[in-house]
Copies of this chain bind each other. A is one copy, B any other.
Amino acid sequence: MNLRTSVATVCLSGTLEQKLHACAEAGFDGVELFEPDLVASPASPEEIAALAERLGLTLDLYQPFRDAEGVDEDAFHDVLHRARAKFRLMQRLGIGTMLVCSNVATASRDDDQVSATQLRRLGDLAAEHGIRLAYEALAWGRFVDDYRRAWRIVEIADHPAVGVCLDSFHILSRGHDPAAIEDIPGDRIFFLQLADAPALTMDVLSWSRHYRLFPGEGAFDLATFVGHVLGAGYTGPLSLEIFNDTFRQTDVLRTAQQAKRSLTWLEDQVAGRGTGAAAALPAVTQPSGFDFVEVKGEDTGEVDVMLRQLGFTFRGQHRSKPVRLWTQGGARVVCNEHLARDQEPTLAAVGVEVADPGASAKRARLLEAPPVFRRARANEQDLAAFRAPDGTEIFLSQAAPGDTAWVPEFEGGDPPSDALVTGVDHVNLAHPWQTFDEAVLFYTSVLALRAASSQDVAAPTGLVRSHVVRSDDGGVRLALNVAPLALDRTGGFPQHMAFSSPDVMAVARAARDRGLRPLPIPRNYYDDLAARFALDQALVEEMAELGVLYDRDADGDFLHFYTETVGDVFFEVVQRNGGYDGYGAPNAPVRLAAQHLREAGRPGAGR
């Protein structure tokens, strides 16, 4: 689209100077200068202007100027005094546009003519200083809380230095139809602020101040919104204004990069809506399935034992690295002891199969997913890989029937045999709270996965927030789990992969015969199961014996069991019957309680 990109300094943590450096490094063209950031800075306006210039950043907007219109003449006198000082300041900063918010606190005149006249007078003063005013309807403005009314007032004001600022949050949070944006001449839209937000039901002020998200991380249809703004003929910057409690306290550069990724994604989405704009990214289809899952640790021997008990076949040792491959049906697990000194077994990498690995890799690169390098010899497959926000490595491989191309690199193992497990159903990743929203955007933008259900699950140590990103056909499902804070700070929240099978009871029985000890499930659970579902009592008893859990919804039912945890990893085997599309969420508290008890009983517990 060739629109400039900008971001408000309020989105980021740190000092104003740190924010400017981060915005430049992330590749933004400019910034909105949030007044409190300047007020709290020891740097003079001239220093800030010079720093921005050296960094190649334009200062696109000075914001916010509050409570400017709809006031009595006495109060307006004070407004003019305040505005004059700010216009002079803006001249020192070299900023040409000021954000004027609709009045929240001091408005006493609910009259478009009064507001328009005052904006016109303010416009005269602004014009004397070479400044333009972008008037914005706040969602909680005292009288003006709708962009259509703000535009009407600007129309009446009829001053070349007075236009509107559009903010997606203020418009979409109120459910206002953005289509009427196209009725505004593009050159009267002086600024565009973009923010996404999760679908929450709360007062709009709290929602706005604490929960805004970068585009693609929330529930707003920003592509359509931007389409209307471009349709109106707007040519100014796409600028992000995100008030978010997490971004305010996490690494400034990382957040700036996340912000930039969100705009790259959004530009691509807008291009996809047939605006005639060129796509920013190579188009990719969703991954068709999991290629492999990797467990990494200094000693993965216990994992090897467990995989054999689950019916996996040892397919050999990698010819150049201390890495072993286990497969069963379409499920491939790599146990990697390379460069893992002092490391407990952990879920380190996930490979996904895509139609065009080259296009996917390029898309990832353009979205600034950090690349992972692994040494590959001449005769070895060199898969592109990226690091997800939680540190998990994501590998891209060519979708193909049967084993993928890298499997022959493993030597000295057994041939595949009959399998009760058919593939990997889903992978559960523990996720730090600091980068959770970033992760959702990462998976949806880089891999074109879809953010699906979100759920709170009660553990003995607090609520676990679980959010699924998946492909539409269910070939790839990732559950991102945020541990309770009190637990999070002690570290250690296990991750797991779930294998799919058409007969979980058979897998469980065979595994038990091979010595597997499943995660013990309380008898009380089975009594509750019998009360809730009209299940055959013999089946319930067999499930109890094998540690198999059960769930049912309107579309089908679900059987699954868990292994014990080794290091920070455990396994699950699941069976989906009918159209069951969930993950056994009602059973998750039982699993978490059982793991809590096992953990408490382990040597080294309470680390």
Contacts and interface: CB of A to CB of B under 8 A. Distances in A.
Interface of A: 13-15, 35-36, 38-45, 78, 81-82, 85-86, 89, 200-203, 206, 209-210, 245, 248-250, 433-434, 456, 458, 460-463, 484-487, 489, 520, 522-525, 527-528, 530-532, 534, 589-590, 592-594, 596-597
A201 B207 CA distance: 10
Copy number of this protein in the oligomer?
A: 2
Given A200-B202, A593-B15, A248 B42 contact: no
27 contacts: A14-B461, A35-B528, A36-B589, A39-B589, A39-B590, A40-B524, A40-B525, A40-B590, A40-B594, A41-B524, A45-B524, A81-B531, A85-B530, A89-B531, A200-B202, A200-B206, A201-B203, A202-B202, A245-B463, A248-B461, A248-B484, A249-B463, A249-B485, A249-B486, A433-B485, A485-B485, A489-B489
Contacts of A456: 209
A6 B453 CA distance: 36
The 10 closest A-B pairs by CB, nearest first: A249-B462, A85-B531, A40-B593, A202-B202, A201-B203, A249-B486, A249-B484, A42-B522, A248-B462, A39-B528
Contact of A15 (B85, B86, B202, B596): B596
Nearest to A45: B524
Given A13-B461, A463-B248, A81 B534 contact: yes
Most buried by B among A434, A489, A531: A531
Nearest to A245: B463
Nearest to A204: B201
A460 B42 CA distance: 14
- Chain A interface SS verdict (over half): helix
Contacts of A486: 249-250, 434
Contacts of A534: 78, 81
A200 B206 CA distance: 10
A607 to B, nearest CB: 16
Residue from A209, A249, A463, A590 with most neighbouring chain B CB atoms (10 Å): A249
A387 to B, nearest CB: 21
A99 to B, nearest CB: 16
A248 B200 contact: no
A433 B488 CA distance: 14
Given A203-B202, A531-B81, A531-B86, A39 B525 contact: yes
A200 B202 CA distance: 8
Contacts of A82: 531-532
Nearest to A483: B249
Contacts of A200: 202, 206
Contacts of A86: 531
Contact of A458 (B248, B460, B489): B248
A434 B82 CA distance: 42
Nearest to A486: B249
A334 B473 CA distance: 69
Contacts of A36: 458, 589
A106 to B, nearest CB: 11
Nearest to A522: B42
Nearest to A248: B462
A413 to B, nearest CB: 39
A227 to B, nearest CB: 30
Contacts of A460: 13-15, 40
Given A42-B520, A524-B38, A531-B85, A597 B462 contact: no
A527 B15 contact: no
Contacts of A202: 200-203, 206
